[in-house]
Structure 1
Amino acid sequence: MLKYLDLHIHSRYSRACSRDLTLENIGKACEIKGIDIVATGDFTHPAWFKSIENELERAEDGASDSFLYALKGSRSKTRFMLSTEISLIYKAQGKTRRVHMVIHAPSTEAVRSLNSYLEKGYKIKSDGRPILGMSAPDLVSLCLSIDPKFLLYPAHIWTPWFSVFGSKSGFDTLEECFGDQTGSIYAIETGLSSDPEMNWRFSGLDSLTILSNSDAHSLNNIAREANAMDLDTGSYDEIYEAIRNKDLEKIKFTVEFYPEEGMYHFDGHRACAVSLKPEDTRGLGGICPKCGKELTIGVLNRVEELADRPQGYRPKISASYVKTVELDKIIAETLGIKSRNSKQVKRIYDRLADVCGNELQALLETPYDVLAEAGSAAIAEAIKNMREGRVLTVPGFDGQYGHVRVTGDGRSKTSQAGLFASDWD
């Protein structure tokens, strides 16, 4: 059965995150969004982990020591995977490195053991995404020594400031970062500013599963990226093995942001409103033409720097992907309303989610006549444009989100690798 998984979100205890991010609210949001299995986020935070222990229960029976979890006393079908993101800041090879890691745990017992170790030397109470002065290989080794079913992979791998390949403090290969633990890394997370096609250009990632997650800091942003898997039991072990083995019988496709909408796609200097393509940055020597300060080198530029394949290359063993725009943004654009949070947008969104089953169904599968009847002809046309890649993009840069337009003039077709276009060779 096809399941949608969003394996990286945050809780109310992470910095700059909504207070509405409770487990109950996350479960409800996932049912509306179409997410079947969601990360708990932030399990290293003591107060949040207490909520996890008090409000969730094992959703699986059997001999396995690995579990997904469900809300206690609830009919919700949402399943939770124990997860967190950790920020590592440390010295390696003469440079300060800043790498974010996603961690999935097989059980609350494993989390309790990890937290018990970390709280002795680190301030894990200060933020849902704690900062540790620990190297990436040491973190991997620590987790696997507690339980071999921990699953770790680098988060949003291309973003400039806090990622394994970031232009500001990253590495050039996974081996440089993870050393003798490289073989225990089975996946990477694309991040909002890159898509699988960009990652396919770097042969060093060929053996790894490409995952895409929302990294949601609010309920609205859950499912803005996700993973579609054909699962039999939907257990932790099945998901773990599918990711570990890059099993494309189970990993079907990812749901992607248009990478141009990500806040670090292009190079630039936000303070001067300067946004640049990689070739223009190179012509300027990486310096802002307005103020003379150093530009923030974005994801597209960094991908081109490390790429050993041409644009458009697709490995033989690779899952498909589809690019989407969040439904409330589409509705707001068709109405000419700036805020996706307006009451009018919310009313139409709720009706579409109800009629279509959920948001992902509306975006990916619902026939256009049903969309038109439940929403409007303009919404149906906008979703058609999105599915066919007929959009106008204004790329994000230096921490500023980009924009994707699905209505009006000036749109040009972009690639949709899989569901809404013929399969690639």
Structure 2
Amino acid sequence: MRYFADLHIHSKYSRAVSPLMDLPHLAEGAKRKGLQILGTGDFTHPLWFKHLKATLQNESNEGSGLFAYRDVRFMLTAEVATFKSTPKGVKKVHHVIHAPSFEVVEQLNDVYGKMGSLEADGRPMFGNCSPAELMEKTHEVSPDAVLIPAHAWTPWFGIFGSMSGYNSIEEGYEEQAKHIIALETGMSSDPAMNWRLSKLDKYALMSNSDSHSPYPWRLGRECNVFDFGSNGEASFSSIFSAVKNHDKRHFLFTVEVDPAYGKYHYDGHRLCNFSASPEETRKLKSVCPVCHRHLTIGVENRVEELADRPLGFVPENAIPFKKVLPLHELVAAYRKSSLSSKRVMEEADSLITSVGSELSVLLDTPEPQLRKHADEGLVAVIMRNREGALKVKPGYDGEYGVLQLNAATKLGQTTLGAY
């Protein structure tokens, strides 16, 4: 059995998050998406943790580190932010923490509560704390807890971020870097971009949605796919054993959006309505031609800066990935309508209901079967999406990328612009 797992989301107790991010809506959204495992997010928040502990049930395999609710399994997860003043400026980094039990979470929260307020935000902020200090305190509580750098390349809060990050895992986590087993790629990068850095070969690459709402174009838009065989079972330990060992038998692939769809792929200024490729930015000397201030340097540019390999290199131990955009994005672009319009919602939901889940529509359902439930043009777009052949205008400085369809794409014809 395949397990689709999205292990980085937020609850309604985080800032700028939908009030619908509660267990009932998460479970419903997960099933429609095709996710079997979700991170809880925000286990550091006292009210959310109390609710999780009272509501989630131990599985029959007690001690698995996964907890059941309405046929969806949940892993205890949280995201925290560290801020540390250095001679090179304030370093700001987000980290995803995965805990194997409620008992470990209680102990972690006791420690984290001394580092910053846990009540103010579901994503707590720890001032005067380095990534190394956070890792050390986490592992002192439980060596089984897994901490990974969140959205590693995001300009403002990624470990490699252009605005406030580090140049290497070792620079940020220092002697504690030995405990890092994986990185989260984030939406604005994909594994192929990360493979350009030989120093990252030792780390597995995980992908999650970092969703702030339960809507299908957010939840599970990026996820990890595991399979433990007919006699195996998903558990906290089996998942992270597969991740740590780059075990392709059990860690099958990640699901990624086109990195151009991410909010920080290109350089630019959102308020100036200006974006630029790395090449254009170099010509501009990183200065915005509209406001004449320094551009927000995006992920593609930052990868170029740190890379020591050409695009296309694949490490021997690399976990494969599949690149698809959410179904509602496809329908919205095809119908030239908004994501949340009634027509888009009804058409996408009808197709999901007919097939079984959105991820099945996007990844697996044969084209002839799709044609029974959707018109020819939309099916052509779905198949082009599955082939990774759609064109996206790159996102920048907090603006999502925009899917661009032309008439040939809708008819399933190959065009140079599709690549």
TM interval, shorter chain, is over 0.9
Find the counterpart in structure 1 of residue 306 from structure 2.
Answer: 306
Change (3 A) 1:60 1:139: farther
Question: Counterparts of 1:412 and 1:130 in 2: how far apart (Å)?
Answer: 46
How big is the shift at 1:120? 3.1
1:91 aligned residue: 85
Does structure 1 conserve the Cα–Cα contact (< 8 Å) formed by 2:225 and 2:255? Answer: yes
* Residue 123 of structure 2 corresponds to residue 153 of structure 1: no
Counterparts of residues 268-307 of structure 1 (less than 5 Å): 268-307=268-307
Q: Which whole-Å CA distance do the structure 2 matches of 1:78 and 1:217 have between them?
A: 18
Give, in angstroms, the shift of residue 407 of structure 1.
4.8
Q: CA deviation at 1:351?
A: 1.9
Contact map agreement 2:333 2:403 (CA 8 A) in 1: no
Aligned match of 1:206: 201
The residue identity in structure 2 corresponding to 1:84 is A
Letter in 1 for 2:401: G
The within-5 A match list for 1:326-345 is 326-337=326-337, 339-345=338-344
Residue of structure 2 aligned with 1:115, choices 109, 114, 138? 109
Checking the alignment, whether the CA contact within 8 Å between 1:267 and 1:397 is kept in structure 2 is: yes
| Kept after mapping to 1: 8 A contact 2:155/2:162 | yes
Distance 1:406 1:322, change over 3 A: farther
CA deviation profile, 1:102-135 (whole Å, cap 9, x unmatched): 0000001110111122223411111111111221
- The answer for the alignment partner of 1:228 in structure 2 is 225
- Distance, in Å, in 2 between the alignment partners of 1:108 and 1:299 is 36
Partners in 1 of 2:29 and 2:90 — Cα distance?
38
8 Å contact kept, 2:111–2:137: no
**SS where residue 70 of structure 1 aligns?**
strand
Counterpart-to-counterpart distance in 2, 1:46 and 1:375: 45
Alignment of 1:242-261 (within 5 A): 242-261=242-261
- Maintained 8 Å contact 1:164/1:174: yes
Per-residue deviation, 1:48: 0.7
Distance 1:140 1:334 in 2: 46
Residues 372 and 378, structure 1, Cα contact 8 Å, conserved in 2: no
Equivalent position of 1:164 in the other structure? 159
Structure 1 segment 13-32 matched on structure 2, within 5 A: 13-32=13-32
Counterpart position of 2:66: 68
Deviates more, 1:356-365 or 1:119-128: 119-128
Shift of residue 336, structure 1, vs aligned partner: 2.3
Instruction: Measure how far apart 1:406 and its partner are.
Output: 4.5
Measured in 2, the distance between the counterparts of 1:147 and 1:183 equals 15
Instruction: Write the letter of the residue equivalent to 2:67.
Output: Y
Paired position in structure 2 for 1:188: 183
Q: What is the TM-score when the length of structure 1 is the normalising length?
A: 0.93
Question: Could you tell me whether the CA contact under 8 Å between 2:260 and 2:394 is conserved in 1?
Answer: yes
Task: In structure 2, list runs of 5 or more residues that go unmatched.
Answer: 410-414
The alpha-carbon deviation at position 409 of structure 1 amounts to 4.6
Q: Deviations over 1:298-342 (max 9, x none)?
A: 0000000000001111111111111111111112222221x2212
1:388 counterpart residue number = 387
**What is aligned with 2:412?**
none
Q: How does 1:105-144 map to 2 (within 5 A)?
A: 105-133=99-127, 134-144=129-139
Q: CA deviation at 1:346?
A: 2.0
Distance 1:181 1:355 in 2: 49
Query: Structure 1 pair 105/413, CA: closer, same or farther in 2 (3 Å)?
Result: farther
Paired residues of 2:391 and 2:418 also in contact (CA < 8 A): no
Q: Which amino acid aligns with 2:377?
A: A
Aligned CA distance change for structure 1 residues 8 and 412 (closer, same or farther; 3 Å): farther
8 Å CA contact retained: 1:363, 1:383? yes
Cα shift at 1:344 = 2.1
Q: Percent identity?
A: 42
What is the CA distance between 1:87 and its match in structure 2?
A: 0.9
| Equivalent-residue separation in structure 2 for 1:186 and 1:84 (angstroms) | 17
- Equivalents in 2 of 1:43, 1:407: separation in Å? 44
TM-score, structure 2 as length reference? 0.94
* Equivalent-residue separation in structure 1 for 2:365 and 2:9 (angstroms): 26
| Distance (Å, rounded) in 2 between the aligned partners of 1:252 and 1:353 | 23
Matched residue, 1:419: none
CA distance in 2, matches of 1:241, 1:349: 36
Q: Which residue of 2 aligns with 1:418?
A: none
Matches within 5 A, 1:316-335: 316-335=316-335
Compute the RMSD of aligned alpha carbons: 1.5
How far apart are the structure 2 equivalents of 1:87 and 1:281?
Answer: 29
> 1:186 & 1:406 partners in 2: Cα distance?
39
Distance 1:158 1:60 in 2: 39
1-structure distance, mates of 2:201, 2:3: 24
- How many residue pairs get aligned? The number is 408
Instruction: Give distance in 1, aligned partners of 2:133 and 2:285.
Output: 36
Query: What CA distance in whole angstroms lies between the structure 2 residues aligned with 1:407 and 1:372?
Result: 20
Report SS of the residue matched to 1:123. Answer: coil
SS at match of 2:288: coil
Deviation of the 1:20 alpha carbon: 0.4
For 2:286 and 2:302, the matched residues in 1 are separated by: 12
- Alignment check: 8 A CA contact 1:88 1:136 kept: yes
1:340 partner amino acid: L
SS at match of 1:159: coil
Q: What is the Cα deviation at residue 413 of structure 1?
A: 6.8
Aligned to 1:423: none
Mapping of residues 363-374 of structure 1, within 5 Å: 363-374=362-373
Mapped partners of 1:97, 1:397: distance in 2: 21
1:263 aligns with 2:263: yes
Q: Counterpart in 2 of 1:5? A: 5
Is the CA contact (8 Å cut-off) linking 1:213 and 1:227 kept in structure 2? yes
Task: Assess, with a 3 A threshold, how the Cα gap between structure 1 residues 381 and 414 changes in structure 2: closer, same or farther.
Answer: closer
CA distance in 1, matches of 2:21, 2:164: 30
Equivalent position amino acid for 2:44 in 1 = T
Partner AA of 1:357 in structure 2: G
Aligned AA (1:70) = A
CA distance in 1, matches of 2:305, 2:110: 41
Query: In structure 1, what residue type is equivalent to 2:146?
Result: L
